[in-house]
Amino acid sequence: MKRATQATETPQVGRSVPRLEAAQKVTGRAEYVHNLRLPGMLYGKVFRASVAHGRIRRIDTNAAQAVGGVYRVVTAADIRAIVPEPYYGPAFHDQPILAIDKVRHVGEPVAVVLAADPHVAEEAAALIVADYEELPAVFDEVEAVTSRAIVHEVLKPAGTFPDLKHLKGRTNTNVALDFHLRRGDAERALAAADRVFEHTFRTQQVMHTPLEPLVSVAEPRESSLTIHTASQSPSFVRIELARLLGWPENRIRVRTPFVGGGFGAKLYIKLEALVAVLALLTRRPVKVSLTMEEQFFTITKHAATFKIRSGVAQDGRITARHCEVWWNGGAYADIGPRVTQKSGFTAPGPYDIEHVAIDSYALYTNLPPAGALRGFGIPQLVWAYESHTDLIARALGIDPIAFRRKNILREGRPQATGTPIADAAIDKVLERLAVTLEWEKPLERGGGTVRRGRGVAIGFKACISPTTSVAMVNLTADGSCIVYCGTVDMGQGSDTAMAQIAGEVLNLPAESISVVHSDTDVTPYDMATLGSRSLFHMGNAVRLAAEDARAKFRALAAEVGLADADAPIVEVFRKKYGMQAGNVIGVASFIPSYTPPDYATGLTPNATPFWMVGGTGVEVEVDTETGHVRIARLVNVADVGTPINPKIVATQLSGAAIMQLGFTLFERMEFDAAGQLRNASLAEYKIPGMLDLPGEMTSEAVAAEQRTGPFGAKGVGESGTFGVSPAIANAIEDAIGIRLTSLPLTAEAVYRALCAARGEPLGDD
């Protein structure tokens, strides 16, 4: 390491700077909450509900309390003694810290055993007994609309998101929120269309599977509380705990070191409220870390049902589309209502359709809660609308790419909400897919029992809005530089990107800049690390903060009579302060402009600060004897604006595609009729391994620029997920003429469909 006192003329942006944290991580020295041990710390083990819906008759903790080494057993009654209304949630205040009166899904936390030894806590938790009066349960998202099983008797909107308003007059409280959009007159246009196509698609409930399971530690002080947590949203944790406890924010400190993957699992409140109240009850530090099994009961990705109906003119123009989407949010809303609205409004896909109607519903069911997962509902929507697109093209006898070319949204054209498309290279992504796949050349189909096919799909996504990021950039007297930024680096490389942005502005090598991790007593406010927002929002905040620092430094240089262009940083400080002393601190806040949708129509001229675009092309080999689908080739193309770090962009795209590959081919949480999860372990719930990877995989960013982004860049964390599922389903149909409409596309599902197509359907499994 050498002193970073010399400015550089090397561009910092657009360069594949090696990850700043790489050495720490490969040597095992990176800080994770899992490694944190505090003097006097207690470990909490959660006792969980064994029924999907039931009124709690009795919780017997006597045997657990009697285990030697148990410090205390805590139930909701203990918590309510210090927090009378212990309900949390980003959209609804619906989730109790521990179950109150009833349980709403199998695996819901009911009690916690605290002990200095985690094994003692685990042993004792197994001795707790709870009796329930079982209640009717509902598991299907469409059935939930009419079911007599009511998950929540009363809805409690959080008010956090001002544009999340469930429609007045609705009586079924299983519908947490409904979002409706009407542009033009879809029903009339459908009636008048040359052809009408209607399909229904389903996606399954899956899990995020971060390598680091959820973990939080609360450390009580006399009148304050420090929460060390693997969280994607430290600022939210602080605000929500302050609300729960009735404390001002500055008495709560939320620290997040490195996080071992998040993918949306570690957003909002997960274990933080629990450890907070346990620490306040015991006046001891408390740690709760989940096993992989427990994560399945904590947060998942929405299953969804999507009914899509399109009117198409004889020439292949889509004239009207009606989308109905039911999101299975499980027992607690988490951020599901936001998914309903935010993803809802892009449900018709990246197509230029004059008449659009959307009805999107967030449902409560008696399954584990669902929230955000890499794509925030978009992969489910793209699965549906891009399967639908191919079905239409095929029915019309139009080449799938030609059909898309005819219908895609082009620059300046209004999207479903009416917001004009800007800096969204949908056309470039589509054309690049065609070129890379050599679409014009016929595919070698293969022979015998293994058939080859190919497929494409494109998707797009709006970014969450309006949200705020604040950053600080601190130039120290030896010329080294520190960036303070609440973005959580959970593996996506944000530290490196932020250092590159600050370095570009300040003309310093990115490698010499350090990035301070999220700590609400240290780093300024950031909404959260989610939805591919950070590079754009925090990147802009860091850029502005660095510009502020640069302006202040130039003023300082001028003040001490050193021409700014060639003034070494060290000299300017020394001349001003007489020794190695002082700081130049730049501060900036970034909030993009936004116009909330009209309440009645769902329309807005300004729905998003930027658009993400991703497309996938695949070539598959389907074994008609076994149903096994092999991905011979997978091509990812995305519009990420101008990449800050091309290598990180490539790994984000390929990582996203592989994750979506698991959701496409085999991942599924399997529940029995009573709502019991049958495969809550990585032995039974399969995620992609090396052997599941495509035979060939490329990831590519088209030449593009997000003019409002930092140095032309925008988010890239999710775009690689969009097209994977429908591209594969489209390729399967291309290979064997079989259309699957439910995920995952397992060998069994393919085989069953083949049998059914042959008129020899198999029985139920």
Number of chain positions touching its own copies (CB under 8 A): 67
Which listed residue (143, 478, 547, 700) binds its own copies by CB under 8 A?
478
Task: Measure the CA–CA gap between 480 and 501, rounded to whole angstroms.
Answer: 15
Q: How far is the CB of 239 from its own copies (least distance, A)?
A: 5
Within 13 Å and on the Cβ side, how many CA atoms surround 386? 31
Which listed residue (44, 86, 220, 597) binds its own copies by CB under 8 A?
220
Instruction: Note whether 656 and 720 are within 8 A (CB).
Output: yes
Compare residues 50 and 583 and give the one whose CB is closer to its own copies.
583
Q: How far is the CB of 592 from its own copies (least distance, A)?
A: 11
List, in sequence order, every residue forming a beta bridge with 56; answer none if it has no partner: 132
Helices (H), 414-515: 426-436, 494-506
246 touching its own copies, by CB under 8 A: yes
31 touching its own copies, by CB under 8 A: yes
Task: Measure the CA–CA gap between 29 and 1, rounded to whole angstroms.
Answer: 18
Give residues with Cβ within 8 angstroms of 385, minimum separation 6.
306, 308, 323, 347, 348, 349, 459, 726
Task: Measure the CA–CA gap between 734 and 452, rounded to whole angstroms.
Answer: 8
Which listed residue (522, 558, 755, 762) binds its own copies by CB under 8 A?
522
Which listed residue (594, 628, 670, 708) binds its own copies by CB under 8 A?
594
Distance between the two ends of the chain, CA-based, in angstroms? 61
482 touching its own copies, by CB under 8 A: yes
Three-state secondary structure readout of 173-189? CCEEEEEEEEECCHHHH
Q: Which stretch binds its own copies (CB under 8 A): 190-198, 207-215, 575-583, 645-653?
A: 575-583
Compare residues 107 and 524 and give the one whose CB is closer to its own copies.
524
List, in sequence order, every residue forming a beta bridge with 618; answer none if it has no partner: 455, 634
Give residues with Cβ within 8 angstroms of 28, minimum separation 6.
none
510 touching its own copies, by CB under 8 A: no
Compare residues 396 and 560 and give the one whose CB is closer to its own copies.
560
466 touching its own copies, by CB under 8 A: yes
**CA 425-595-608 angle, 5° bins:** 25
Give residues with Cβ within 8 angstroms of 746, minimum separation 6.
627, 665, 666, 668
Task: Measure the CA–CA gap between 402 and 430, rounded to whole angstroms.
Answer: 10
Q: How far is the CB of 338 from its own copies (least distance, A)?
A: 12
Contact string 698-737 vs its own copies (x = CB under 8 A): ----------------------------------------
Amino acid in position 315: D
Compare residues 271 and 482 and give the one whose CB is closer to its own copies.
482
Q: What is the DSSP string of 634-683?
A: EEEEEE-BS-SSHHHHHHHHHHHHHHHHHHHHT----B-TTS-BS--STT
Q: Which stretch binds its own copies (CB under 8 A): 10-18, 371-379, 582-590, 601-609?
A: 582-590
Q: How far is the CB of 131 from its own copies (least distance, A)?
A: 38
760 touching its own copies, by CB under 8 A: no
Q: Which stretch binds its own copies (CB under 8 A): 173-181, 239-247, 311-319, 616-624?
A: 239-247
Instruction: Note whether 586 and 545 are within 8 A (CB).
Output: yes
561 touching its own copies, by CB under 8 A: no
Which listed residue (75, 298, 341, 474) binds its own copies by CB under 8 A?
474
| Edge-first strand listing for the sheet containing 70-75 | 70-75, 109-115, 42-48, 286-289, 215-220, 225-229, 252-255
Q: How far is the CB of 578 from its own copies (least distance, A)?
A: 5
Q: Which stretch binds its own copies (CB under 8 A): 119-127, 143-151, 171-179, 245-253?
A: 245-253
Compare residues 6 and 50 and give the one whose CB is closer to its own copies.
6
23 touching its own copies, by CB under 8 A: yes
248 touching its own copies, by CB under 8 A: yes
Structure-token pair, residue 534 = 């950070």
Compare residues 2 and 168 and give the one whose CB is closer to its own copies.
2
Nearest to 97 by CA among 213, 218, 251, 211: 218
Which listed residue (91, 144, 331, 470) binds its own copies by CB under 8 A?
470
81 touching its own copies, by CB under 8 A: no
512 touching its own copies, by CB under 8 A: yes
Which listed residue (50, 200, 507, 583) binds its own copies by CB under 8 A?
583
Nearest to 544 by CA among 444, 472, 625, 619: 472
579 touching its own copies, by CB under 8 A: yes
524 touching its own copies, by CB under 8 A: yes
Compare residues 239 and 613 and give the one whose CB is closer to its own copies.
239
679 touching its own copies, by CB under 8 A: no
Nearest to 326 by CA among 302, 346, 296, 291: 302
Which listed residue (251, 406, 628, 686) binds its own copies by CB under 8 A?
251
145 touching its own copies, by CB under 8 A: no
Positions 292 through 321 that interact with its own copies (CB under 8 A): none
Structure-token pair, residue 72 = 């205390």
223 touching its own copies, by CB under 8 A: yes
Compare residues 480 and 676 and give the one whose CB is closer to its own copies.
480
Work out the burial of residue 308: count CB atoms within 10 Å of its CB; fewer than 13 is exposed, 13-18 middle, 19 or more buried: buried
Give me the active site residues, please.
Answer: 718
Task: Measure the CA–CA gap between 261 and 490, rounded to whole angstroms.
Answer: 5
525 touching its own copies, by CB under 8 A: yes
C-alpha to C-alpha distances, 577 to 480, 557, 561, 573, 688, nearest whole angstrom: 16, 12, 13, 6, 57
Task: Measure the CA–CA gap between 240 and 150, rounded to whole angstroms.
Answer: 27
Compare residues 540 and 642 and give the one whose CB is closer to its own copies.
540
Compare residues 140 and 511 and give the one whose CB is closer to its own copies.
511
Compare residues 23 and 756 and give the one whose CB is closer to its own copies.
23
Compare residues 245 and 638 and give the one whose CB is closer to its own copies.
245
Task: Provide the greatest CA pair distance for the chain.
Answer: 89
32 touching its own copies, by CB under 8 A: no
Per DSSP, the three-state class of 684 is: coil
Give residues with Cβ within 8 angstroms of 384, minimum separation 6.
199, 201, 306, 308, 325, 347, 726
Q: Which stretch binds its own copies (CB under 8 A): 286-294, 302-310, 312-320, 521-529?
A: 521-529
Residue 65's φ and ψ, nearest 5 degrees, are: -65, -30
Q: Which stretch binds its own copies (CB under 8 A): 108-116, 344-352, 377-385, 478-486?
A: 478-486
Q: Which stretch binds its own copies (CB under 8 A): 137-145, 173-181, 395-403, 514-522?
A: 514-522
Per DSSP, the three-state class of 452 is: strand
Q: How far is the CB of 601 from its own copies (least distance, A)?
A: 20
Q: How far is the CB of 357 from its own copies (least distance, A)?
A: 27
Chain residues in the site for its own copies (CB under 8 A):
1-5, 23-24, 27, 29-31, 35, 37, 39, 160-162, 220-224, 235, 239, 242, 246-251, 466-468, 470, 472, 474, 476-482, 512-514, 516, 519, 521-522, 524-525, 527, 576-583, 585, 587, 589, 591, 594
